[in-house]
Amino acid sequence: MRIGRIPLKLPPPTIRLRMTALYGLVFLISGAVLLTIGYELARHNLTPGYDRNELRRIFGAPPPRPFGFEPGSAGARYIDAIRAQLRADALHRLLIEYIFALGGMTIVSVVAGWLLAGRALRPLRAITSTARRVSGENLGERIALKGPADELKELADTFDGMLTRLDAAFASQRHFVANASHELRTPLAIMRTELDVSLSDPDANVEDMRRMGEAVRDTVDRCERLIEGLLMLARSEAAIGREEPVDLAGLAADCITDLHARAEEAHVEVQDDLEPAWTSGEPALLERMIANLIDNGIRHNVPGGWLRVSTRAEGGRVRLTVANGGAHIEPDVAATLTEPFRRLGRGGGGFGLGLSIVRSVVVAHRGTIEISAPEDGGLAVQIELPAPIAPVVGIAPKRNARALTQS
């Protein structure tokens, strides 16, 4: 829009401006309707009738006799004309006063609407300013809006929840990159050393090259297992996807069956006490959690040792317990085994990611994990997860693990 040669810049149609205009328009319409009703009531009550007492108030005394009081007389017509003029003047003044009152109150309502809209939209400004400050390196900020539980507080809490999830996702990504770069440095150095030694030897024969290739292949396999473990760790640290009812007893039975051959090879006796323990979550992650616990109990055991797996459901919670025999572990050392790349020794193989994945899966499913080291040796891991709110019906329980291993 232009006025002459000077461009006129209109204010942006912000929600505050629109709310103020809406407040003013609503007041103008309602005020106009109310004043119109008042005007019609006043006009209706100003009737042209008269009586002798009213004539006394007008003239101060009865009018001269020639005027008379009879309808149609000159006095009656004179009085009617005076009353009509007075009525018209009163209605005219009332109309003018109503118009000025309506205009003044409309201005006041617009100003009050502007102030009230600003106060009502103040939380939105806090959300906007926080969103502008947040970046990939500054995801720790929160709005933490205080006040009644209305729509704006629900929006602020939703925004805070989104920042929490983004912060966890970014932290998981940084954690993954740091762990991968740290752990891949050694196998890459081994491969480079093998290649440099073989290529720098002018007398290297086919057998030497084959030996170098086998060493490189073993290192590549190790890198693949490491990356697979890191990817599983990153996935378990993220928010779980679609939840569905899962029976921990059935998953544990499947895992015991799958690892039965490994347990026999390691001369570890597997004992199970599985009762139905229904929870809700992602079956693949929960199965990997149980498999890691059982594999860890077999890997870090002693020949002729034992491994016990039990599941329970009580008090709105389900409990999974995996305990194994083995060498004595200090309690303070056992408490740190859920951290990535924490290993009791290098001889057991693996990368120290098994219990880290277990802890991440438990946290993602809103559960708790407790690790203890019995005095007679070994490790005991107890996990508690919330039971589903609605009872699980129509799903047949899986067979006991012992029956599966014998079939």
Q: How many CB atoms lie within 10 A of CB 365?
A: 21
Tell me which amino acid residue 182 is.
H
Of 205 and 80, the structure prediction assigns the larger pLDDT to 205
Which residue is listed with tokens 């008090």?
Answer: 315
Tracing tokens 């996702």 back to the chain, one arrives at: 169
H or E segment and range at residue 368 = strand 368-372
Average pLDDT, stretch 263-271? 91
What does the pLDDT average to over 263-292? 90
Model pLDDT for residues 73-103, shown as the tens digit of each residue: 666 677 677 777 777 878 888 888 888 888 8
pLDDT of residue 136: 61
Tokens matching residue 171: 């932290």
Q: Is the pLDDT of residue 308 over 60?
A: yes
Name the token pair of 24.
């003013």
Q: And the tokens for 71?
A: 């309808």
* pLDDT at residue number 179: 66
Q: Which of 8-17, 142-151, 229-238 has the highest mean pLDDT?
A: 142-151
Query: What predicted TM-score, i.e. pTM, was given to this entire model?
Result: 0.52
Residue 89 is which amino acid? D
Query: What stretches of 238-353 show up as alpha helix (H) in DSSP?
Result: 248-258, 260-265, 283-299, 331-334
Same fold, 151-236 and 245-406: no
Segment 23-72, tens digit of pLDDT: 788 888 888 888 888 878 777 766 555 555 555 555 555 555 545 555 66
Closest residue by Cα to residue 95 from 32, 34, 39, 27? 39
CA 378 – CA 299 distance, rounded (Å): 11
The domain over range 151-236 is classified in CATH as 2.40.50: no
| Residue 313, number of CB atoms within 10 A of its CB | 18
Expressed in angstroms, the distance from the first to the final Cα of the chain is: 85
pLDDT of residue 188: 80
pLDDT of residue 60: 54
Q: Is the pLDDT of residue 346 over 50?
A: no
Q: What pLDDT, on the 0 to 100 scale, is given for residue 399?
A: 42
The domain limits of the chain are 2-120, 151-236, 245-406
Q: Which helix (H) or strand (E) holds 306?
A: strand 306-314
CATH superfamily of 245-406: Histidine kinase-like ATPase, C-terminal domain (3.30.565.10)
Checking if the pLDDT of 140 tops 50, the result is: yes
Please, is 128 exposed, middle or buried when counting C-beta atoms within 10 Å of its C-beta (0-12, 13-18, 19+)? exposed
